[in-house]
A and B are shown apart, each in its own frame.
Chain A
Amino acid sequence: MTIMMDTGNRIGAKAAVMAKPEVVAAYPITPQTTMVEAIAEYVARGEFKGEYICVESEHSAMSACIGASAAGSRTFTATSSHGLLLMHEMLHWAALARLPVVMCNINRVIGPGWNIWVDENDSISQRDTGWIQFYCSSNQEIFDTVIQAFKLAEHQKIVLPVMVNLNAFILSHTSMPAEIPEQQTVDDFVGKYVPHWKLDIDNPITFGNIIGPEHYYKVRRAMQEAQQNAKQLIPQIAKDWKKASGYFHGDLLEYYKCEGAEHILLSMGAIGAESKIAIDEMQKAGIKIGLARVRVIRPFPAEEIRKLGKQADLIIIDRNISIGSEGVLFNEAKAALYGESEAKATGFIAGLGGKDVTYKDIETMCRKAMNGSAKKQEWYGMED
């Protein structure tokens, strides 16, 4: 075990390399670049022995990962924002083809205008592609989640691609210490990749030819079942990793001081980390409030949120907006509560375009929700 004091991107790259993918295909985009540069350094030093394909676009990055995965190799890539959007077609393809590609996405604003700061509209807008989606809140969590992502993606009950999201700059470019386990620990945990299916000259199959209505729905249904399986396996794998490494960041959600809380804050990513300080401050002032940091948005933790709704009213912060509707976490949390809970849900849209959200802002939002002065969902810090 060693301590690595480095940025989220470089710690994510370290985890990816330690999981020993056979093929990495990637294309540079700010603020993901330092992650693929780090992998290139591992290649140059001979510490990464896989193939590193510097493709000519993100669409090709995902296509190459799909080809490599279909040929029976463990694969990894990383992207951000517009790169993720360019991959959109192939994100669906990877999931429908049941290929366990693992990818880091650095959450960045979508243009125009050009803006490289954080918000989560990039990955949130890919939530229907069939990928499992994690959101990290510290560099240690990035490392641990990337390792867990390979284990999860390749599990025979899952066989789906996994996206590990980290917020631009706040995590991607901020140095924090992370404990790096021994290579043997990672090897033992992730194991050898055993493909669920592959292109094999000894067993020639035609994959992805024309499929009629009498068969297609089975593909979708199997994907849905795999996502449901992930609700059990994500907590299990998190627990197993805790045993192996000592680190645990929560299951589908991370519960922070929720005991006896009459209000529970739901937030994600870096705001999720900042929320802990806000909760501490408010609890010091005698307010009964806790935090449920959402680590996984696909599969959506509906049962867990329903349970929270039986205990407390919910305050939900979204760093995204589904234009014409509302914040996606707010929207889906309410859908989970529907007909099952009397809990009040108050939503805030905050931090779009990289606007800073401090613990004081979070506290202000929570107080507004608790004293009833907030609308059902309102924009915070972006009123003008």
Chain B
Amino acid sequence: MALKDYPVDECLLQGNASCPGCPATIGLRLVLKALGKKTIMVIPACCTAVIESLYPHTSFDIPVMNIAFEAAAAGASGVEAALRQQGRTDITVAAWAGDGGTYDIGIQALSGALERRTNFIYICYNNQIYSNTGIQRSGATPYAAWTTTTVSGKNEFRKEMGEIILAHHIPYAAQTCISYPEDVISKITKAKNIQGPKYIEILAPCPPGWRFSMDKTVEMGRLAVDSGAWSLWECENDVMTFNGKSKLILEKKIQRKPVEEWIKYQGRFSHLFRPQRDEVRLKAIEDYTDNLWERYRKCYTTK
């Protein structure tokens, strides 16, 4: 898809309250372009509650319902059921939640809504932390990353939410990243035209949370993919396809960059490099990533 083919509608208005360099607004803008004005969005507690701006103002040009932290998927289930009763099948119902609201507190409601085959799109913008509350660890935070609750670095590896979603065998699931606008738009557009539950996760590199310069947001997303710390894929009716560089890495057509190439720009990992290199943890990160891709190759080798 060329830039000139992007939908022209802007449902995210100018003058919102996001931080400079915010990846969530990049993602939202693309997502809303793809979804269009016939969309109702359900948003739990997350940065977007701030991006919406203060009552009585709003930065959204579609109807939005804010709901409690753990309740996005359940709230969206209700909206979807009501619209179906009213015969409004022309309206897309989307939940838009952060990784805390998805991986952690909201996973029960999400799993329930997927299992019930709710006709909606659940979108997780994953900045790998509780950023709205001031950078605390979540289930999506990578190993060794500093957060305000993992002061010397997180001791555990992140959970593979994508694979938890795949276990629900929904019609469409995908991972993407704000650094690849065509990928975001094409996956959201595809999801919009599929009946049943859809899950799309968007990696969202957060400058204040990851401690990098606000002009590097897009670059941080690309390096995450190049290093295999993040992957682009989609799974349609249980058929898995890796996309872009992730496909080349999976098929061993290129070698992934060391994850170090990604994390060295991020202040949240600075304790791995200063005052001296923490070889043990740096090796653990590369080993984990190698094992992850080996497992991907075993489970998801595409025909």
Whether the Cβ atoms of A70 and B55 lie closer than 8 Å is no
Does B56 sit at the interface, judged by CB under 8 A? yes
Whether the Cβ atoms of B75 and A63 lie closer than 8 Å is yes
Instruction: Kindly state the interface size class of chain A when it binds its partner.
Output: 35 or more
Does A323 sit at the interface, judged by CB under 8 A? no
Residues of chain B with a CB closer than 8 A to A273's CB: none
Residues of chain B with a CB closer than 8 A to A329's CB: none
Residues of chain B with a CB closer than 8 A to A205's CB: 58, 63-64
Does B77 sit at the interface, judged by CB under 8 A? yes
Residues of chain A with a CB closer than 8 A to B74's CB: 55, 59-61, 63-64, 67
Residues of chain A with a CB closer than 8 A to B50's CB: 210
CA distance A63 to B70 in the complex (A): 9
The residue in chain B whose Cβ has the minimal distance to the Cβ of A56 is B112
Does A350 sit at the interface, judged by CB under 8 A? no
Residues of chain B with a CB closer than 8 A to A63's CB: 67-68, 71, 74-75, 77-78, 109
Does B38 sit at the interface, judged by CB under 8 A? yes
Does A320 sit at the interface, judged by CB under 8 A? no
User: B12-62: which residues lie under 8 A (CB-CB) from chain A?
Assistant: 37-40, 42, 49-50, 52-56, 58, 60-62
Residues of chain B with a CB closer than 8 A to A68's CB: 78-79, 81-82
The residue in chain B whose Cβ has the minimal distance to the Cβ of A51 is B81
The residue in chain B whose Cβ has the minimal distance to the Cβ of A199 is B63
Known: A53-B116, A68-B79, A199-B79. A59 touches B70 (CB 8 A): yes
Known: A60-B71, A63-B78, A199-B40. A206 touches B58 (CB 8 A): yes
Q: B176 to nearest A CB, angstroms?
A: 25
Whether the Cβ atoms of A60 and B86 lie closer than 8 Å is no
The residue in chain B whose Cβ has the minimal distance to the Cβ of A211 is B55
Known: A23-B85, A53-B78. A209 touches B67 (CB 8 A): no
Residues of chain A with a CB closer than 8 A to B85's CB: 22-23, 50-51, 73
The residue in chain B whose Cβ has the minimal distance to the Cβ of A215 is B55
Residues of chain B with a CB closer than 8 A to A111's CB: none
Whether the Cβ atoms of A201 and B91 lie closer than 8 Å is yes
Whether the Cβ atoms of B77 and A208 lie closer than 8 Å is no
Whether the Cβ atoms of A57 and B66 lie closer than 8 Å is no
Known: A201-B38, A210-B55. A65 touches B78 (CB 8 A): yes
The residue in chain A whose Cβ has the minimal distance to the Cβ of B85 is A22
Whether the Cβ atoms of B49 and A71 lie closer than 8 Å is no
User: A9-45 CB contact bits vs B (8 Å, 1 = yes)?
Assistant: 0000000000000110100000000000000000000
Does B190 sit at the interface, judged by CB under 8 A? no
The residue in chain B whose Cβ has the minimal distance to the Cβ of A212 is B54
Give the contacting residue for A67; candidates B53, B75, B115; CB below 8 A: B75
Residues of chain A with a CB closer than 8 A to B63's CB: 199-201, 203-207
Give the contacting residue for B86; candidates A57, A65, A72; CB below 8 A: A72
CA distance A212 to B37 in the complex (A): 28
Q: A218 to nearest B CB, angstroms?
A: 11
Does A69 sit at the interface, judged by CB under 8 A? yes
Whether the Cβ atoms of A210 and B65 lie closer than 8 Å is no
Known: A64-B74, A207-B66, A210-B49. A51 touches B79 (CB 8 A): no
Does B108 sit at the interface, judged by CB under 8 A? yes
Whether the Cβ atoms of A59 and B71 lie closer than 8 Å is yes
Residues of chain B with a CB closer than 8 A to A201's CB: 37-40, 62-63, 91
Cβ contacts A to B, 29 pairs, < 8 Å: A22-B81, A22-B86, A23-B78, A23-B82, A25-B78, A53-B81, A55-B74, A59-B109, A60-B109, A63-B77, A66-B71, A66-B78, A67-B76, A67-B82, A68-B78, A71-B78, A71-B86, A89-B68, A93-B67, A93-B71, A199-B79, A201-B39, A201-B91, A203-B63, A204-B37, A208-B66, A210-B49, A210-B55, A212-B55
In the A-B complex, list the 6 residue pairs whose CB atoms are closest, starting with the nearest.
Answer: A67-B78, A56-B112, A208-B66, A60-B74, A64-B78, A63-B74
Which residues in B have some Cβ–Cβ distance to A below 8 Å?
37-40, 42, 49-50, 52-56, 58, 60-68, 70-71, 73-86, 91, 108-109, 111-112, 115-116
